[in-house]
Structure 1
Amino acid sequence: MAALSVGTLVVFGLIAVALVLFVTETVPPDITAIAVLVALAVLQPWTGVRATEAIQGFASTATVTIIAMYILSEGVQQTGVVERLGVVLARVTRGDERRLLTATVGTTGVAAGIINNTPVVAVFIPMITGLADRAGLSPSKLLLPLSYAAMMGGTLTLIGTSTNLLASDLSRELLGRPIGMFEFTPLGLLVLIVGGAYLLTVGRWLTPARLPPHQDFTDEFDLDRYLSRVRVGEGAAVVGQSIDAVETTLASDDDVDLLQLKRNGETYLAPSSDQTVAVGDVLIVRGTLQSITRLTEAPGLRLLHRDDVGEEELVEGPGTLVEAVVLPDSGLVDKTVAATGLEGALHTTVLAIRRGETVLRESLDDVVLDSGDTLLLQTTDEAVDYLVSDGDLLVTHRSADDPPSPEEPAEAVAPLSPKTPWALGILGSVIALAALGVVPIVIAALGGVVAMVVTGTVTTADAYEAVSWNVVFLLAGVLPLGVAMQRTGGDAVIASVLVGSADVLPVLGVLALFYVLTALLASIITPVASVVLMIPIAVDTAARIGADGFAFLLAVTFAASGAFMTPIGYQTNLMVYGPGNYRFSDYLRVGGPLQLLLAGVVTLGIAFFFGV
């Protein structure tokens, strides 16, 4: 075993702290990464990482290329091509579960190989949910395969995922050779075919139906005991008061939200109405039975015991109901519902929050939002449009959603932008230039960004907003950790331990071991951090046992791109967590066998296509 120096122990200590922070998310992962960067520079006498080297991650070709690819993906997304793919999917499937699942896996997998898989999944979630409803299927049966297919599709090309680009950068530094655009496409295609076959057979049986189809929003979030009608009679203190004043009083006194005012057949959405309360009005309110009972003990207010208040009534007038997921890089994360300003700025009321298996319905203003939370919102169409464009929330389902009819022309359902030829041509040119080696991928991608902006395919503002800056900072922050591992000999220490496995395992067995270890690590922390930590160790181990370092690098890369076993392992997993009403264990139940299957497929595939 290699000697443990003080520097090695310091770096291992930083890694241990970072892993704990990544897992617990006490602070956001990108902030943890920046903290690691700062610590490495401050402790330079032991880590060997100078300040200038600590920040070089921001200028690495992988980081810059990822920024450019986010913008190129945004340009393609704005053309409506992805939505058109959804219409084609609806035409092909026509309500059949097996065909719908096949089309979902195939379409998503291929699309994720050429544009960022996150926007693909974001666009497909509401469409898949609607198609499942129309076919009488549980959306849960389709959403998890949607995420898994997007992850596997990312292994088709160099630009499929950020981990691929990072691995290419590390391959150039450690082995003296970058990865070509389509160099591992045959292996990626094998992964997609085998993984897709699993999802259509065993995975289809293992994937649970957590949500019934065609379910009323109020039933889905079990709100029947929290919604009531209250009639305003003579002598009520609220008569003559503005809706805003009444709502403020109710919220502060009894934790009751005023949702709607109904008068003479007209319905007014409370947060956006300037009406004053009059005798004979009916108020639709949300609150616990105890709080509403206390409310109606006041003179002039009477609780109406009739049918439950359902979705149909809540969408009368200008209101609509939407289900939306808090995205990992959302500005709403770590804010209370009251502090988000949803009600004041967007006239939007949070009716319930689903977090894992728990649904929160009480004292919602004080709930601190977390990434992956699913919110049930009563809002307006204008507010929904803003929420979609703002990017803090992913609207996955709305009460007015109606999947496209097979008889409707595709042009009417999903019209393409006049800039579509420009966007597709620019993306194709970027891929071709990089694949032919005319210019490096980073230069081709940046040139594509310039072309996108110059042609008006994306605006400058859209370009900056398209980038997931948390991913960029995470990547730039953890890259120096790999440098520190090499400078202090930390990678050699771990490699010397793993080399011992070669005494009892063949080279293929050691290769599979690295796949499994990386997959486990990526499912707990981020795939980016897993690649940075594991690739130097894998390359060192390969050199010690006389194996091909590139083969071991590929095993780590493919394993990091397939963090199937937890909802926190990959962003698309988290995006479908709430809309599918999944449990944490569902990912292990469906993703665990898939992970083991692909461990064998990737190991044998690397041996066949590249040698070990």
Structure 2
Amino acid sequence: MMAWAVLVSLCVFLAVLVSGRVKPATAFTGLATLYLLTGQVDTATLLRQYTNPALATLLLLLLVSLALERSPLLDWLSDRLLSGRPRLATAKLMGAGAVLSAFLNNTAVVAAFLGAVSRQKRLAPSRLLIPLSYASILGGVTTLVGTSTNLVVNSFYLNATSEELGMFQFALVGLPVALISLGVLLWRAGSLPSHPAENIQDRLAYFLAAELTDDSPLAGKSIEANGLRNLDGLYLLEIERDGRLLSPVAPEELLQPGDTLVFTGEVNKVQALKRFPGLRLFGHQASDLLATNLVEVVVSHQSELPGKTLQEVDFRSMFSAGVVGIRRGERRLEGQLGQIPLRVGDCLLMAVSADFRQHRNLDRNFHLLSGSFTRPQLGRWQSLAALGGFAGVIGGASLGLIPLFHGLLLLMAGLLATRILTVDELRRRFPFALWLIIGSALAMAQALDNSGAAALLARGMQQLFSGYGVFAAFAGCYVLTLLLTETVTNNAAAALTFPVAWSTAQAFGADPLPFILAVAYGASACFLIPFGYQTHLMVYSPGHYRIADFLKTGLPVSLAYSASVLILTPWVFPF
């Protein structure tokens, strides 16, 4: 009876995840807590899952990558990759993205190339960004450290067998799969839309400007006293005074004759300004000076902003910046910007103050696309030390000279000692959500086993595929993982399907390894819908994409990828 109750709770849990109304970390932690309270796992077991060695290795890898993503190497590469004919530039960008993503966090790789691709004017960014995102996935499936899903699967595998997967064990299937899929991707890249990047005049269309005349009764009074803080659909973004910009504008700022007041929001609601005497409208003829402090960013998956509005978080005080426009995919959002709940992947055009770059939470919340603001980078010797240390750790772990966890811990100590990384930076960027998801998922897998639900699932899978053989069961586990990664998230998909794959292999008396690898490869097979994978969301708005663009490009890639995995995995790793 308890086994059925656990299975029902998992079905409800999956429905909640698919609905998107509850964040994955909240849902996973909530269900793990429920299993603790109902006695399916005890306290010691639950705590042990959150300190799983493979999970600790994943967290260390993500933290070390914070230093690597600040290396100027990626910027240097991006400047040289986007040369030559369009097809050649696309191939070079895809190849570099795939190779780097085999060893570096693919989110960091895409983030590094994202700004360079968006800023250059020679090639339409929309022709490059989906190929970059897909290539980063394909490179990640070739090594243990290439993607977080491989390390998630390794966490479960270590928990079940007390053994870890090898650094390049994934490459035996992953490398040929990646090469085949990259070939299909290059073929389909030519069919992507060609959306030119916004120029200055496009950006000035976000503004409405008005000059304060010499005899205006508004002069000498504050913004708040003049009633300029509560306008219908508009808000005062900044003031141009004597050739310089005041941004953001404080409520107590006193207006002066000749000031140019710059408004943003619903700029078509010009009538809201007609009631102010001595305010002469320029329409949309705002000067180019107003574009000098514009910064365009993408909301990060680590950000605290998704699900909240600009007003709720007091965005202007939080970042010393005002949001001029919001774009989601190909759409520029209209209406009251301050009341629109933000999403991961939203593209924000901001007018920033001189204090903007001083905020320490920028890296956590945003990926920079364009603007005068640049992120701090490592010096030459710091970059060489960080990259050399990381290469040494990977090489040592591959040759069996040092465990990966030990090597990463030593590297982390070195980065802290040399102040390439700081404790404050680690605290700000620590992946708490991922830690909660994987630790809770490990506890949930233990609850499945303790309650008998895992055995029940195994019998069900055996009966379902009994007439078709072990290969059909293997393919079923892969397809289940693929469907979940497209509708939920890649890490959640791996966490949910590992117990099913493990139990199915045992039910058929087969070697669990090919089933486990099917979960790993299936969890990375997110090529159809942009909302299930972080790098897709990062390129969705900068590329002005529609969901149809992902479907048309991703479907052939997904079919080639899946066919390759299903054929090669049992051949390389027999049942």
Paired position in structure 1 for 2:316: 343
1:560 maps to amino acid: A
Q: Please state whether the residue corresponding to 1:285 is helix, strand or coil.
A: strand
Paired position in structure 1 for 2:70: 78
Paired position in structure 1 for 2:537: 574
1:54 aligns with 2:32: no
Paired position in structure 2 for 1:293: 271
1:312 to 288, 304, 312: 288
Q: Please state whether the residue corresponding to 2:298 is helix, strand or coil.
A: strand
Separation (CA, whole Å) in 1 of partners of 2:213 and 2:163: 80
Structure 1 residues 445 and 311 mapped into 2: Cα distance closer, same or farther (>3 Å)?
farther
1:126 aligns with 2:115: yes
Separation (CA, whole Å) in 2 of partners of 1:103 and 1:19: 39
Paired position in structure 1 for 2:488: 525
Separation (CA, whole Å) in 2 of partners of 1:387 and 1:355: 25
Paired position in structure 1 for 2:24: 29
1:227 aligns with 2:204: no
Structure 1 residues 388 and 197 mapped into 2: Cα distance closer, same or farther (>3 Å)?
farther
Q: Please state whether the residue corresponding to 1:230 is helix, strand or coil.
A: strand
- Could you report, residue by residue, the CA deviation over 1:447-489 in whole angstroms, capped at 9, with x for unpaired residues? 3222322343322223333432221122112221111122223
1:377 aligns with 2:343: no
Paired position in structure 2 for 1:109: 98
1:464-483 aligned at under 5 Å gives the runs 464-483=427-446
Structure 1 residues 438 and 347 mapped into 2: Cα distance closer, same or farther (>3 Å)?
closer
Structure 1 residues 429 and 399 mapped into 2: Cα distance closer, same or farther (>3 Å)?
closer
The alpha-carbon deviation at position 235 of structure 1 amounts to: 5.0
1:87 aligns with 2:72: no
Across the aligned residues of Structure 1 and Structure 2, the Cα RMSD in angstroms comes to 2.8
The alpha-carbon deviation at position 358 of structure 1 amounts to: 4.0
Structure 1 residues 281 and 593 mapped into 2: Cα distance closer, same or farther (>3 Å)?
same
1:198 aligns with 2:190: no
1:257 aligns with 2:235: yes
The alpha-carbon deviation at position 506 of structure 1 amounts to: 5.0
The alpha-carbon deviation at position 42 of structure 1 amounts to: 0.7
Separation (CA, whole Å) in 1 of partners of 2:209 and 2:183: 51
Structure 1 residues 344 and 452 mapped into 2: Cα distance closer, same or farther (>3 Å)?
closer
2:290 maps to amino acid: L
Paired position in structure 2 for 1:437: 400
Structure 1 residues 275 and 544 mapped into 2: Cα distance closer, same or farther (>3 Å)?
closer
Paired position in structure 2 for 1:279: 257
Paired position in structure 2 for 1:409: none
Separation (CA, whole Å) in 2 of partners of 1:288 and 1:342: 18
Paired position in structure 2 for 1:3: none
Q: Please state whether the residue corresponding to 2:380 is helix, strand or coil.
A: coil
Q: Tell whether the 8 Å contact from 2:265 to 2:325 is kept in structure 1 after alignment.
A: no
1:11 aligns with 2:3: no
Paired position in structure 2 for 1:393: 366
The alpha-carbon deviation at position 41 of structure 1 amounts to: 0.3
Structure 1 residues 300 and 587 mapped into 2: Cα distance closer, same or farther (>3 Å)?
same
1:470-509 aligned at under 5 Å gives the runs 470-509=433-472
Separation (CA, whole Å) in 2 of partners of 1:356 and 1:311: 28
Paired position in structure 2 for 1:454: 417
The alpha-carbon deviation at position 431 of structure 1 amounts to: 1.5
1:403-422 aligned at under 5 Å gives the runs 416-422=379-385
1:268 maps to amino acid: L
Paired position in structure 1 for 2:58: 66
Structure 1 residues 557 and 292 mapped into 2: Cα distance closer, same or farther (>3 Å)?
same
> Aligned residues, how many?
573
Paired position in structure 1 for 2:196: 213
The alpha-carbon deviation at position 351 of structure 1 amounts to: 1.3
Separation (CA, whole Å) in 2 of partners of 1:198 and 1:399: 37
Q: Please state whether the residue corresponding to 1:250 is helix, strand or coil.
A: coil
2:86 to 97, 104, 115: 97
Gaps of 5+ in 2: none
1:328 to 287, 291, 301: 301
Separation (CA, whole Å) in 2 of partners of 1:290 and 1:121: 36
Structure 1 residues 148 and 381 mapped into 2: Cα distance closer, same or farther (>3 Å)?
farther
Separation (CA, whole Å) in 1 of partners of 2:372 and 2:301: 24
The alpha-carbon deviation at position 293 of structure 1 amounts to: 1.2
2:62 maps to amino acid: Y
Separation (CA, whole Å) in 2 of partners of 1:600 and 1:191: 9
The alpha-carbon deviation at position 382 of structure 1 amounts to: 4.9
Q: Tell whether the 8 Å contact from 2:294 to 2:349 is kept in structure 1 after alignment.
A: yes
The alpha-carbon deviation at position 158 of structure 1 amounts to: 0.8
Structure 1 residues 501 and 153 mapped into 2: Cα distance closer, same or farther (>3 Å)?
same
Q: Tell whether the 8 Å contact from 1:36 to 1:478 is kept in structure 2 after alignment.
A: no
1:22 maps to amino acid: L
Paired position in structure 1 for 2:245: 268
Paired position in structure 2 for 1:405: none
2:255 maps to amino acid: V
Separation (CA, whole Å) in 1 of partners of 2:389 and 2:152: 23
Paired position in structure 2 for 1:408: none
Separation (CA, whole Å) in 2 of partners of 1:444 and 1:251: 55
Q: Please state whether the residue corresponding to 1:375 is helix, strand or coil.
A: strand
Q: Tell whether the 8 Å contact from 1:272 to 1:347 is kept in structure 2 after alignment.
A: no
Structure 1 residues 286 and 504 mapped into 2: Cα distance closer, same or farther (>3 Å)?
same
Q: Please state whether the residue corresponding to 2:407 is helix, strand or coil.
A: helix
Separation (CA, whole Å) in 2 of partners of 1:483 and 1:88: 49
Q: Tell whether the 8 Å contact from 1:351 to 1:361 is kept in structure 2 after alignment.
A: no
Separation (CA, whole Å) in 2 of partners of 1:199 and 1:60: 37
The alpha-carbon deviation at position 599 of structure 1 amounts to: 1.1
1:303 aligns with 2:281: yes
Separation (CA, whole Å) in 1 of partners of 2:111 and 2:343: 18
1:355 maps to amino acid: R
Paired position in structure 1 for 2:124: 138
1:605 to 561, 568, 574: 568
Structure 1 residues 287 and 420 mapped into 2: Cα distance closer, same or farther (>3 Å)?
closer
Separation (CA, whole Å) in 2 of partners of 1:606 and 1:71: 31
Structure 1 residues 346 and 533 mapped into 2: Cα distance closer, same or farther (>3 Å)?
closer
- Could you report, residue by residue, the CA deviation over 1:177-203 in whole angstroms, capped at 9, with x for unpaired residues? 4211111223221122112111100x2
Structure 1 residues 79 and 287 mapped into 2: Cα distance closer, same or farther (>3 Å)?
closer
Structure 1 residues 40 and 206 mapped into 2: Cα distance closer, same or farther (>3 Å)?
farther
Separation (CA, whole Å) in 2 of partners of 1:351 and 1:491: 52
2:150 maps to amino acid: N
Separation (CA, whole Å) in 2 of partners of 1:506 and 1:598: 23
Q: Tell whether the 8 Å contact from 1:388 to 1:395 is kept in structure 2 after alignment.
A: no
2:462 maps to amino acid: V
Q: Tell whether the 8 Å contact from 1:348 to 1:377 is kept in structure 2 after alignment.
A: yes
Separation (CA, whole Å) in 1 of partners of 2:506 and 2:212: 80
Q: Tell whether the 8 Å contact from 1:260 to 1:267 is kept in structure 2 after alignment.
A: no
TM-score normalised over the length of structure 2: 0.91
Q: Tell whether the 8 Å contact from 2:473 to 2:504 is kept in structure 1 after alignment.
A: no
1:236 to 216, 232, 238: 216
Separation (CA, whole Å) in 2 of partners of 1:162 and 1:262: 47
2:165 to 168, 179, 192: 179
Separation (CA, whole Å) in 2 of partners of 1:61 and 1:340: 37
